[in-house]
A and B are shown apart, each in its own frame.
Chain A
Amino acid sequence: MTNYYNSEDLKKFGKIGEFGAKDMAADFFKYYGGVFADGALSGREKALIALAVSHVLKCPYCIDAYTSTTLEKGCSEDEMMEAVHVGAVMAAGVTLVHSTQMINKAKELMM
């Protein structure tokens, strides 16, 4: 293995069931397909959410895939960037809101 991440590997994702646990892979992809279909949220809105999640989870495969999907769905640069900002600000907020624990603990320990 020369590289941990290889963009060509994204194309192999759909075939993970061939290696093992075929039924589990099939269940997952069925669920995946169902979740991203138009529903109460449009496929376009879901793709923007997925783009934000891809960044928060820092998955290069997903960033590649959902950049293409959001472009295909006609999302503008501002929409794509705002989605990433939602992810970023959530990640920052999640970090910062934990400071309340630090503050509680500090208050417990400090005179």
Chain B
Amino acid sequence: MLTAHHTQTMNPVKSLKALKHALGDSGYQIQVLNDHDKLGRHLPLFREKIAPFGLFPLKPTQIDIFQVNVGKMCNQVCSHCHVDAGPDRKEIMTQETMQECLDVLRKHKFKTIDLTGGAPEMNNNFRWFIEGIRAIDSEIKIIVRCNLTIILANKNYHDLPEFFKQHRIEVVSSLPFYTASRTDSQRGNGVFEDSIKALQMLNAMGYGQEGSGLTLNLVYNPAGAFLPSGQDGLEKEFKKALKTKYGIHFNSLFCITNIPISRFLDYLLVSGNYGEYMEKLVNAFNPTAASNVMCRNTLSIGWDGFLFDCDFNQMLDLKVLGRSQHLREFDMSELTNRKISINQHCYGCTAGAGSSCGGEVA
């Protein structure tokens, strides 16, 4: 029997963009983020909140992380996805743009290359790109944000764990919860089961196993309109549950707050949680987290080669400010001195212990 709970949390099958939903438009999302009527309350501007701590204008400290979004295509259609990714998204980075990334990497030193999507592995040139990065720098940390189910989606992907191992890729994977119901409600039916199988395949390759040097980190994000709390405590619970039930090992758990944009913003509006959620974020504002937001050490590259402050700004089409807006005009000193584009969604990065692609920041 379908209960009310199940109907409510049924996963979307199409992206907002394909549905021609108003929120598929980034300009409209920014409008909603600043709409007091929709919020049902008056909230301070993010800019006003960070100014007393000397953080406005917000500027980078040093650009260490080169994060590339290689495309919005994904085998999943998660209900919280800030990319509005899905099988119907056709925005995919071309080999030519990847080459432009490699040109930048040859000239400039970064600590980490972080590959994301969509499901980055669905880009036909994904492996070519990683081999290209390794050819330039055999030591640099390369992260792939792998959604796990892609490994089982098609036999062409079954050998991904081996490929990752061969190139010493750090795998970061979303698993919203250690139970099937709460994972599937966010990521789709059957996702938990496939994710468990994929984790077991990665473990078998040595990932997440002590002494292997192969890192497997998991990402937790709340399945609903509440904030994450206590990364260490949750990591313990995840480790205990996954080990006893499924024999799975992993390295660290990153807690990530859901940023109120795209499909999560849609969920907030439809479920009537929007105003409350934004108020929770504002009330949990933490200046230490604000001074460590990831846009201060990360540069985000879009599928078409444009540069952004972070993956969220990328999805809101807020390009970096200044003259160096594309890989072809890459100017490190200009970028390091730029002002970061901020808006009300930024409260998602500064609540509680803060949130970044690497979890808590405070």
- Whether, in the assembled complex, A108 has its beta carbon less than 8 Å from a beta carbon of chain B, the answer is no
Using A42-B233, A44-B230 as known contacts, say yes or no to A74 and B224 having CB atoms under 8 A apart. Answer: no
Which of B224, B228, B233 is in CB contact (< 8 Å) with A44? Answer: B233
Tell me the smallest distance from the CB of B349 to a CB of chain A, in Å. Answer: 17
Which residues does chain A contribute within 8 Å of B237, judged by CB atoms? 44, 74
- Whether, in the assembled complex, B220 has its beta carbon less than 8 Å from a beta carbon of chain A, the answer is yes
- Contact B182 A77, beta carbon cutoff 8 Å: yes
Which of B178, B179, B220, B224 is in CB contact (< 8 Å) with A71? Answer: B224
Tell me the smallest distance from the CB of B166 to a CB of chain A, in Å. Answer: 34
- Bound Cα distance from A20 to B280, whole angstroms: 27
- Whether, in the assembled complex, A72 has its beta carbon less than 8 Å from a beta carbon of chain B, the answer is yes
A-contacting residues, B182-217, CB 8 Å = 182
B-contacting residues, A57-86, CB 8 Å = 68-69, 71-74, 76-78
Using A44-B237, A71-B224 as known contacts, say yes or no to A76 and B230 having CB atoms under 8 A apart. Answer: no
Which residues does chain A contribute within 8 Å of B177, judged by CB atoms? 74, 76
Which residues does chain A contribute within 8 Å of B229, judged by CB atoms? 69, 72-74
Question: Which residue of A73, A74, A76 has the most chain B CB atoms within 10 A of its CB atom?
Answer: A74
- Contact A76 B226, beta carbon cutoff 8 Å: no
- Contact B234 A74, beta carbon cutoff 8 Å: yes
- Contact A74 B179, beta carbon cutoff 8 Å: no
- Contact B227 A76, beta carbon cutoff 8 Å: no
Which residues does chain B contribute within 8 Å of A74, judged by CB atoms? 177, 220, 228-230, 233-234, 237-238
- Whether, in the assembled complex, B181 has its beta carbon less than 8 Å from a beta carbon of chain A, the answer is yes
The number of residues on chain B lying at the interface, defined by a beta carbon within 8 Å of a beta carbon of chain A, is 17
Which residues does chain A contribute within 8 Å of B226, judged by CB atoms? 68, 71-72
Task: Mark interface residues in A26-54 (1 if CB within 8 Å of B CB, else 0).
Answer: 00000000000010001110000000000
- Contact B227 A72, beta carbon cutoff 8 Å: yes
- Bound Cα distance from A29 to B155, whole angstroms: 58
A77, closest chain B residue (CB)? B181
A72, closest chain B residue (CB)? B229
- Whether, in the assembled complex, B12 has its beta carbon less than 8 Å from a beta carbon of chain A, the answer is no
Which residues does chain B contribute within 8 Å of A69, judged by CB atoms? 229
Tell me the smallest distance from the CB of A38 to a CB of chain B, in Å. Answer: 8
- Whether, in the assembled complex, B222 has its beta carbon less than 8 Å from a beta carbon of chain A, the answer is yes
Which residues does chain A contribute within 8 Å of B179, judged by CB atoms? 76-78
Using A71-B222, A71-B224 as known contacts, say yes or no to A76 and B182 having CB atoms under 8 A apart. Answer: yes
Tell me the smallest distance from the CB of A48 to a CB of chain B, in Å. Answer: 12
Task: Mark interface residues in B34-64 (1 if CB within 8 Å of A CB, else 0).
Answer: 0000000000000000000000000000000
Tell me the smallest distance from the CB of B80 to a CB of chain A, in Å. Answer: 15
- Bound Cα distance from A7 to B177, whole angstroms: 28
- Bound Cα distance from A74 to B182, whole angstroms: 11
Which residues does chain A contribute within 8 Å of B238, judged by CB atoms? 74
Tell me the smallest distance from the CB of B281 to a CB of chain A, in Å. Answer: 13
Tell me the smallest distance from the CB of B222 to a CB of chain A, in Å. Answer: 7
Tell me the smallest distance from the CB of B289 to a CB of chain A, in Å. Answer: 16
Which residues does chain A contribute within 8 Å of B234, judged by CB atoms? 73-74
- Bound Cα distance from A73 to B233, whole angstroms: 8
- Contact A72 B228, beta carbon cutoff 8 Å: yes
- Contact A72 B222, beta carbon cutoff 8 Å: yes
- Bound Cα distance from A68 to B177, whole angstroms: 16
Which residues does chain A contribute within 8 Å of B227, judged by CB atoms? 72
Tell me the smallest distance from the CB of B257 to a CB of chain A, in Å. Answer: 11
A67, closest chain B residue (CB)? B226
Which residues does chain A contribute within 8 Å of B228, judged by CB atoms? 72, 74
B5, closest chain A residue (CB)? A77
Which of B181, B182, B222, B233 is in CB contact (< 8 Å) with A43? Answer: B233
12 additional contacts, CB 8 Å, given A74-B220, A76-B182, A77-B181? A38-B233, A43-B230, A44-B230, A68-B226, A71-B222, A71-B224, A72-B222, A74-B228, A74-B237, A76-B177, A77-B182, A78-B179
Sample 30 A-B pairs with CB under 8 A, ordered by A number.
A38-B233, A42-B233, A43-B230, A44-B230, A44-B233, A44-B237, A68-B226, A69-B229, A71-B224, A71-B226, A72-B222, A72-B226, A72-B227, A72-B228, A72-B230, A73-B229, A73-B230, A73-B234, A74-B220, A74-B228, A74-B229, A74-B230, A74-B233, A74-B234, A74-B238, A76-B178, A76-B182, A77-B179, A77-B182, A78-B179
Interface residues of A (CB under 8 A from B): 38, 42-44, 68-69, 71-74, 76-78
3 nearest A-B pairs in the assembled complex, by CB-CB distance: A72-B229, A74-B234, A71-B226
